[in-house]
Amino acid sequence: MSLTVQNLHALEILDSRGNPTVMVRAELSDGTISGAKVPSGASTGAHEAHELRDGDRTRYGGKGVRQAVENVHNILAPALRGMSADDQFALDRRMIELDGTPDKSHLGANSILGVSCAVARAVARSRGIPLWRYLAGGRPAVLPVPMVNILSGGLHAGRNFEIQDFQALPLRLSTYAEALEAVASVHRAVRAVLEKRGCIPNGVADEGGWGPRLPSNQTALDVMLEAIGYAGYRPGEQVAIAVDVAASHFYSNGRYELHSEGRSLTSGDLISLLAEWAARYPIVSIEDGLAEDDWPAWAVLTEKLGGKIQVIGDDLFATNPGRLERGIRERVANAVLVKMNQIGTLSETFQVIDRAREAGFRAVISARSGETEDDFLADLAVASGAGQIKIGSITRSERLAKYNRLLEIENGGEVAYAGSPKHIGPPAKVDKRPD
Ligand code: PGA
Ligand code: ZN
């Protein structure tokens, strides 16, 4: 008997910043019920799918999602009822049609993604298989290398310094559990290093990393380097550094404003600075090194660093198949950050992951700064075969839900860890720009 969608129920819940977000529960024709919770970004890109918020300032400062919830009940549920639950592509297509806008602003990417994920999870449950196995289809499932947030700046930490995210990335460890242990000890070591420098970190930033005031952006790299050594690892050999510059968020009128340092940089200046850092520190990955629409400068950055390190587009690509296609064509970046809610359906997320693989780009499966305790992302990362995941820090339970789910999957013994050069650093096949 075919498995169909019976009913969809949504509700407004809270994310890790205490802002409303959407939860959807899907009921299938065999009585299986399962749910999914939608994340939400802070340093959102201009080209992301639309997160529908009520705008009623008397509730949660306008951030309520009751309309998105109603759209699930009144529009999506009746339209999807009776459709095959395991034809994810058809379900997602139908929701895209019902929305009818290029950015899902009519029904809201938050309501659509909630349905997309809830139905997939219900199918996996109905079949009695782990979610990652259902999602993988024919893809090569692999446990991802964790890129773990250690020091936060920018919009995630009250603009203490501009660069958003300094991460530790474990290299050449044979299991995911060992990799997690290594980065957890770097996280702890950073506290000691900061205190030694007379900088007491009070509390943590949005993704659970330390959010201290530092004299300059570059100091964060010095702190990282020192902490990796302090934790007993060889920098660059056992633990490397990844940086999310999130440059769109300090870009204004054609310049990159490092207010905390009183410096204003051109695209060329910023590229030189990043190249200098990449030469001086054990950096293996730079994300959003430039603003989301600074395409010509992105090509220069990629030409300069793309053969040596991973150059990731986050706001640049916004998990959008069209923008990724442009990046592949114009040889901009060599990796894509994948955030489900930037595009709003599971099928389009996989479209981006699969196209990246085909084009020789790497993909990093990523959480948002506003998350929930949902661990869907861990299964998605394993299923995608991408080999890298970025969830935030190893404190705060909305992050740990995913880290711990990966431990559980590793413990199941069916999936191997990706900690090989095949999955880290610049893609093996880096196209040269035509001369
Ligand atoms: P966001 O940050 O979820 O606030 O967009 C994460 C990132 O920039 O990678
Ligand atoms: Zn980013």
- Over the stretch 251-265, which tens digit does the pLDDT of each residue have? 999 999 999 999 999
359-416: pLDDT as tens digits: 999 999 999 999 999 999 999 999 999 999 999 999 999 999 999 999 999 999 999 9
Query: CB of 248 closer than 6 A to ligand 1?
Result: no
Q: Which atom of ligand 1 is nearest to the CA of 155?
A: 4
**CATH assignment of the domain containing 36:** 3.30.390.10
Amino acid at 83: M
Q: How far is the CA of 262 from the centre of ligand 2 (A)?
A: 23
d(CA 108, CA 92): 13
Least confident of 77-91, 145-159, 288-302: 145-159
Distance CA 23, CA 39 (A): 10
Return the best residue to mutate from 148, 162, 248, 368 for the ligand 1 pocket (most ligand atoms within 8 A of CB): 368
- Can you give the pLDDT at residue 414? 96
The model's pLDDT over 423-435, given as tens digits with 9 standing for 90+, comes to 666 776 544 433 3
Is 398 in the active site? no
Residue 106 gets the label, from left (phi > 0), alpha (psi -120 to 50) or beta, of alpha
How far is residue 169 CA from its own chain's centroid? 15
In a domain, 273, yes or no: yes
Residue 144 DSSP code: P
Q: What is the pLDDT of residue 419?
A: 82
Amino acid identity, residue 417? Answer: Y
Spell out the alpha helix ranges (H) of 281-364: 295-305, 321-329, 340-343, 346-358
Question: What are the φ and ψ backbone dihedral angles of 34, each rounded to 5 degrees?
Answer: -150, 155
Query: What does the DSSP 8-state code read for residue 61?
Result: G
Q: To the nearest whole percent, how much of the chain has pLDDT over 90?
A: 93
How far is 187 from 354, CA to CA, in rounded Å?
Answer: 33
Q: Is 38 in the pocket of ligand 1 (CB under 6 A)?
A: no
- Cβ of 366 below 6 Å from ligand 1: yes
Same domain, 155 and 195: yes
How far, in Å, from the CA of 164 to the mean position of ligand 1?
A: 9
pLDDT, mean of residues 148-168: 93
Contacts 24+ apart (CB under 8 A), 371-374: 371/15, 371/16, 371/39, 371/398, 371/399, 372/13, 372/15, 372/16, 372/21, 372/23, 372/37, 372/38, 372/39, 372/398, 373/37, 373/397, 373/398, 373/401, 374/36, 374/37, 374/39, 374/401
- Closest by CA to 347, choosing from 3, 91, 64, is 91
Asked if 207 is an active-site residue, the reply is yes
**356 pLDDT above the threshold of 60:** yes
Domains: count for the chain: 2
Residues 124 and 190 in one domain: no
Report the chain's terminal Cα–Cα distance, integer Å: 59
What's the 217 CA to ligand 1 centre distance in angstroms?
18
Pairing of strands 283-287, 239-244: parallel
Atom of ligand 1 at shortest distance to CA of 156? Answer: 4
Distance CA 38, CA 40 (A): 7
Same domain, 236 and 385: yes
* Same domain membership, residue 292 and residue 176: yes
As a residue count, the chain comes to: 435
Q: What is the arithmetic mean of pLDDT over 47-64?
A: 98
β-strand pairing of 145-152 with 388-392: parallel
**Residue 140 within a domain:** no
Mean per-residue pLDDT of the chain? 95
CATH number of the domain residue 378 falls in = 3.20.20.120
- The string of pLDDT tens digits covering residues 15-36 is 999 999 999 999 999 999 999 9
Q: What's the rounded mean pLDDT across residues 147-156?
A: 95
For the Cβ of 314 lying below 6 angstroms from any atom of ligand 1, the answer is yes
Q: How far apart are CA 425 and CA 226, in angstroms?
A: 22
Pairing of strands 388-392, 362-366: parallel
Residues 217 and 84 in one domain: no
Q: Note whether 186 and 307 are same-domain residues.
A: yes
In a domain, 381, yes or no: yes
Angstrom distance (rounded) from CA 181 to CA 170? 9
Longest dimension (CA), the chain: 67
Q: Are 25 and 95 in a shared domain? A: yes
Residue 41: both structure tokens together: 């970004």
C-alpha 52/C-alpha 64 separation (Å) is 9
Q: Is 258 domain-assigned? A: yes
Centroid of ligand 2 to alpha carbon of 91 (angstroms): 29
Region 343-354: mean pLDDT is 98
- Indicate whether 426 belongs to any domain: no
Q: Do both 211 and 338 map to the same domain?
A: yes
Provide the pLDDT for residue 428: 67
Structure confidence at residue 202 as a pLDDT band (50, 70, 90): confident
The confidence band for 158, taking pLDDT boundaries of 50, 70 and 90, is confident
Distance between CA atoms of residues 308 and 298, nearest Å? 15
Amino acid identity, residue 104? K
Q: State residue 430's pLDDT score.
A: 44
Q: Is the CB of 235 under 6 A from ligand 1?
A: no
The reply to whether 167 and 314 lie within a common domain is yes
**Domain with 123 in it:** 5-128
Quote helix, strand, coil % in the chain, to nearest 5. Answer: 40, 20, 40
pLDDT band at residue 422, thresholds of 50, 70 and 90? Answer: low
Instruction: For residue 130, give the amino acid letter.
Output: P
| Amino acid residing at 357 | R
Identify the active-site residue in 339, 348, 390, 398. Answer: 339
Strand partners, 4: 84
Does residue 272 share a domain with residue 365? yes
